[in-house]
Structure 1
Amino acid sequence: MRTKRTNTVLAVTAAAVLSLGLAACGSVEGGTRDEGAAHTSPSETSSSSSAPSSSSPSSSSSSSSSASASGASASGGSTSGGAAKNAAKNAASSGSKAAASCTYKDVKITAAKADETPTEHVVLTATNTSGRVCRLDGYPLIAFGEIQTAKDVPAVAKSRPAAPVVLEPGAPAYANVRIVLGGAHEDNKVVTSFNVNLFTGSAPAEGSVVVKAPAGGLAVDEAAARTGYWTPELRNGADEF
């Protein structure tokens, strides 16, 4: 009887130990499954590693856009600066062209015979002696004789310059003047001085400059006389007549 009970107790104890062992194994295995289910490591690793990559281009793009915007702004500033300089330059140029007309008090006019035989032309030189910028309009309005009665010498249209003649202080302008054709003849008259009026715009200005003729005087044929427009320099063709 004692032996049988002992065997029964041992059998029950063994069964209990076996049951505990199996329960322990099941708990460990379940824990592993739970850990895997909780972390889902493969997808999270992929997601976490891709997250910085996807945000990085966006950040880089943002930086590039900012840099481009800054560059565009700098470029715009530079362009604006260039435009401002051009505007200032144009304004200065316009200011010179809008200078007041030269008056007879602003210029000194001299006459020199052309290098030719017989003498058919003289060159007038008008020098700005005013100390300010002034505009020399049109052509010299020449009177060979008494200013009140002398015939005005007509201008040659082809000699008109494309732009207004603006003289800085001390700067000269020139006009070619034909005084006769074919040398001396009975219609010529000798003059030792003559008068030159200037224009204000398209109208003759008040006052005139008395110009002394070159040594020996000038033989002038008023019917053949012609004058060119004032120009910064004499030009082949335009000032030949």
Structure 2
Amino acid sequence: MRTFRRTRLLAATGAALTALALTACEDGTGTRVEGTSAPAATPTAPASATPSTEGSPSGTPESTAAAEPEKTPEEKPASDTPTRAPSAAAGADDGPVRTICNGSNTKVTAQPVPRPLNHMLLTVTNTGSKPCNLMYYPVLRFDEMQWVPQARPETKPQAVPTLAPGESGYAGVLLSAADGSGDGGTTARKLTVAFQGGTPNSDGGASATPPLPAGGVYYDSSLTVTYWQSSMENALG
């Protein structure tokens, strides 16, 4: 009886051990003991970082193509072709820019005339090799006078006088009032003629100092000048 019980106990124990040993893993790679942790899964290789070129017409990666927006007409680079600079002469057209007449390229004379009364004629002759423009009106200074004679506005010509080499331009000078209404009269021994540039009252270059008659010239507060003219008649008319 005792032998039978021992035999049954051994048989039951052996069956339990056999069942435990024959428990198979779920993936078919071996056996595992129940109650233990499953091995960590092997990580798969990461996807390639290189973007796909499929669907890109030139083989350029789609991410790169998306980063470069299509250029619009407003984004076109500026042309390297320089634009034409405007003419330097005030009011000039597309013709050649003229040299300004001044004391370095002209000869200036100052001569009192019998008619009109109390007038003097300024004559400017182009001694250079290029045409020059007589701008606005002469700026006169007798001796050390501290004021500038004004130009008579009604004498302004329709066009700036241009002197070819050897040609002359003119300006009339009213020295004193014929009726004696002027004041501060005095006799001048020296005359300086200044030239204007491309804008009113700008510096046109070298001045001229034409000689005056031996006895000088008398002037008073009526002293005025005309704009430069192309003819003597217009300057004294």
Give the TM-score range, shorter chain.
0.5 to 0.7
Please say if 1:196 is aligned against 2:193: yes
Deviations, residues 82-123 of structure 1 (Å, cap 9, x unaligned): xxxxxxxxxxx9636x31212220111101111148x51101
Deviations, residues 104-148 of structure 1 (Å, cap 9, x unaligned): 20111101111148x5110100000112111111111101122xx
Q: Deviation at 1:239?
A: 4.7
Deviations, residues 160-192 of structure 1 (Å, cap 9, x unaligned): 110111110010000011011137787221112
Q: Percent identity?
A: 27
Asked whether the 8 Å contact 1:111–1:122 carries over to 2, the reply is yes
When the two chains are superposed, the root-mean-square deviation of aligned CA atoms in Å is 2.4
Partner of 2:151: 155
Asked whether the 8 Å contact 1:159–1:239 carries over to 2, the reply is no
Asked whether the 8 Å contact 1:144–1:150 carries over to 2, the reply is no
Q: Take 2:224 and 2:150, find their aligned partners in 1: how far apart are those partners?
A: 5
Superposed counterparts of 1:62-101, under 5 Å: 95=95, 98-101=97-100
Asked whether the 8 Å contact 1:144–1:151 carries over to 2, the reply is no
3-state DSSP class of the match of 1:158?
A: helix
Q: Take 2:168 and 2:124, find their aligned partners in 1: how far apart are those partners?
A: 5
| 1:134 partner letter | C
Q: Take 2:115 and 2:215, find their aligned partners in 1: how far apart are those partners?
A: 16
| 2:218 partner letter | A
Structure 1 segments unaligned to the other structure (5+ residues)? 1-92
Partner of 1:218: 217
Q: Take 2:146 and 2:165, find their aligned partners in 1: how far apart are those partners?
A: 32
Q: CA 1:177/1:186 → structure 2, altered by over 3 Å: closer, same or farther?
A: closer
Partner of 2:168: 172
Q: Which has the higher helix share?
A: 1
3-state DSSP class of the match of 1:126?
A: strand
Q: Deviation at 1:232?
A: 0.8
Partner of 2:133: 135
3-state DSSP class of the match of 2:210?
A: strand
Pairs aligned (count) = 142
TM-score for the superposition, normalised by structure 1: 0.53
Asked whether the 8 Å contact 2:142–2:189 carries over to 1, the reply is no
Q: CA 1:162/1:131 → structure 2, altered by over 3 Å: closer, same or farther?
A: same
Q: Deviation at 1:235?
A: 4.0
Q: Take 1:215 and 1:145, find their aligned partners in 2: how far apart are those partners?
A: 14
Runs of 4+ in 1 over 3 A off after TM superposition: 93-96, 183-186
Structure 2 segments unaligned to the other structure (5+ residues)? 1-92
Partner of 2:113: 114
| 2:120 partner letter | V
| Aligned counterpart for 1:227 among listed residues 222, 225, 228 | 225
TM-score for the superposition, normalised by structure 2: 0.54
Deviations, residues 37-63 of structure 1 (Å, cap 9, x unaligned): xxxxxxxxxxxxxxxxxxxxxxxxxxx
Q: Take 1:106 and 1:150, find their aligned partners in 2: how far apart are those partners?
A: 27
